[in-house]
């Protein structure tokens, strides 16, 4: 007991958004301290003790697709859930130490944001990873709940709010009222699926292979979901599948919109299906208040236009879509009463 309160005194509590693409860390009293890609580079340890962590975050992301034999760059979170617990634990330990300026022996209280579709086995695994990475106490908050708090919505009120979080791995659509998620749907389709769709399109159309990172650049630079937007072009470099040599083609926004039809269709459908399952009183609130978009994928050009056309509802985007989830969790960390109300068991 005494040890616990001492540990609490010396450590700063953290909120972590463990995303497929990015991990963000908020420290109580200091705010957002880091945002790094969820990538870990590991090398085979010659002593046979398993993998050795070489780099985490930006440094590791640079290694993706460029690693020599023996070194692998791993993304431990796939489709919004933890696919590799050992590596996730290593990543959590790295972030905890970073938050404490690499001081060891601090045991913070940690809030971790998890997908709403998480199973109880996965919940236990997340808790255990955080505990063995050094946490003293672990709270789990569902990502849409955290996102709603972060976007400034009053989640404790008896009013329906709809949040759409388009992340790297998943798109989560949820309706929130009275501190709980009333109805939600998750699909394993987000920014990564868009990148994949671009890779497949370029392969089919130009017989050319582009890497994940190039596909993401194309998406961020010229992709638009709406045909009303101005069209632009971009040079794309890759490897010719027939000749086997590097080549360059020019892709247009119109082509990329065609490439993204499938994943965008899935996202729009998920919003529709969630609206259909929303109780009428809450649906009426959403007509007035609109839909709040968060997540990096919501920055796709013209996405708001398409959603507005398809749902006839007002569409809002949170001020900083990348950080809404971690800021919401951070706000809960600052307000223990709210944290206890919104945390899941
Ligand atoms: N301007 C942009 N246009 C379109 N997509 C973008 C843009 N900027 C970033 N993205 C995409 O946003 C995604 C990352 O968003 P975010 O950081 O919210 O995901 P995440 O929280 O890590 O994932 P998840 O919530 O699924 O676990 C990536 O797929 C990235 O390519
Ligand atoms: Mg996310």
Q: Mean pLDDT per segment of 10 residues, for the chain of length 345 residues? A: 52 88 92 92 74 88 77 84 85 86 76 88 89 91 96 96 95 96 94 97 97 94 91 95 95 97 98 97 97 97 96 96 96 95 94
pLDDT for the residue numbered 110: 95
**Cβ(21) to ligand 1 under 6 A?**
yes
The reported pLDDT for the residue numbered 148 is 97
- Residue 10 confidence (pLDDT): 53
Q: Is the CB of 323 under 6 A from ligand 1?
A: no
- How buried is residue 333: exposed, middle or buried, by Cβ count under 10 Å (0-12/13-18/19+)? buried
Do 101 and 62 sit in the same domain of this protein?
no
Q: Is the same domain home to 303 and 168? A: yes
CATH number of the domain to which 234 belongs: 3.90.640.10
- pLDDT attached to residue 217: 96
The pLDDT, as a whole number, for residue 3 is: 53
Q: Which domain holds residue 255?
A: 191-260
Domain boundary among 260, 293, 308: 260
pLDDT value for 116: 85
Q: Which of 296, 305, 322 to mutate to test the pocket of ligand 1 (most atoms within 8 A of CB)?
A: 296
Q: Give how many domains the chain has, as a whole number.
A: 4
The label of the residue with tokens 């119109």 reads 254
Which tokens hold the place of 253? Answer: 């926004």
pLDDT at 4: 52
* 179 and 293 in a common domain: yes
Query: Ligand 1 in contact with 190 (CB < 6 A)?
Result: yes
State the greatest distance between any 2 C-alpha atoms of the chain, in Å, as a whole number: 69
pLDDT of residue 17: 94
Which numbered atom of ligand 1 lies nearest the CA of 80?
27
* 167, 222: one domain: no
CB proximity list for 45: less than 8 A, separation 6 or greater: 51, 52
pLDDT on residue 104? 63
């Amino acid at each position: 007991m005494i040890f616990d309160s001492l540990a609490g005194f010396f450590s700063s509590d953290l909120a972590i958004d463990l995303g497929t693409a990015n991990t963000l860390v908020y420290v109580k009293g200091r705010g957002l301290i880091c945002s790094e890609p969820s990538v870990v580079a590991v090398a085979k340890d010659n002593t046979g003790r398993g993998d050795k962590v070489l780099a985490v975050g930006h440094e590791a992301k640079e290694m993706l697709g460029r690693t020599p034999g023996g070194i692998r760059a791993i993304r431990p979170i796939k489709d919004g859930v933890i696919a590799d617990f050992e590596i996730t634990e290593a990543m959590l330990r790295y972030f905890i130490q970073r938050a404490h300026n690499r001081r060891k022996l601090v045991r913070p209280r940690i809030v971790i944001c998890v997908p709403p579709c998480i199973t109880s086995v996965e919940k236990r695994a997340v808790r255990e990873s955080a505990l063995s990475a050094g946490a003293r106490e672990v709270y789990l908050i569902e990502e849409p709940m955290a996102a709603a708090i972060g976007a400034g919505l009053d989640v404790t009120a008896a009013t329906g709010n709809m949040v759409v979080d388009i992340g790297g791995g998943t798109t989560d659509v949820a309706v929130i009222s009275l501190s709980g998620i009333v109805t939600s749907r998750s699909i394993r389709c987000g920014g990564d699926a868009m990148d994949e769709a671009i890779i497949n399109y370029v392969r089919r159309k130009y017989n050319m292979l582009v890497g994940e990172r190039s596909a993401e650049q194309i998406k961020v630079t010229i992709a638009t979901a709406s045909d009303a937007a101005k069209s632009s072009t971009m040079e794309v470099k890759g490897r010719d599948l027939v000749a086997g040599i590097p080549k360059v083609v020019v892709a247009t926004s119109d082509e990329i919109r065609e490439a993204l039809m499938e994943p965008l269709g899935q996202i729009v459908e998920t919003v529709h299906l969630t609206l259909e399952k929303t109780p009428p009183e809450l649906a009426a609130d959403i007509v007035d208040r609109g839909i709040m978009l968060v997540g990096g994928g919501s920055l796709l050009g013209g996405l708001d236009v398409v959603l507005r056309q398809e749902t006839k509802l007002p569409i809002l985007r949170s001020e900083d879509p990348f950080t809404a989830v971690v800021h919401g969790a951070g706000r809960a960390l600052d307000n223990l009463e709210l944290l206890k109300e919104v945390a899941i068991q």
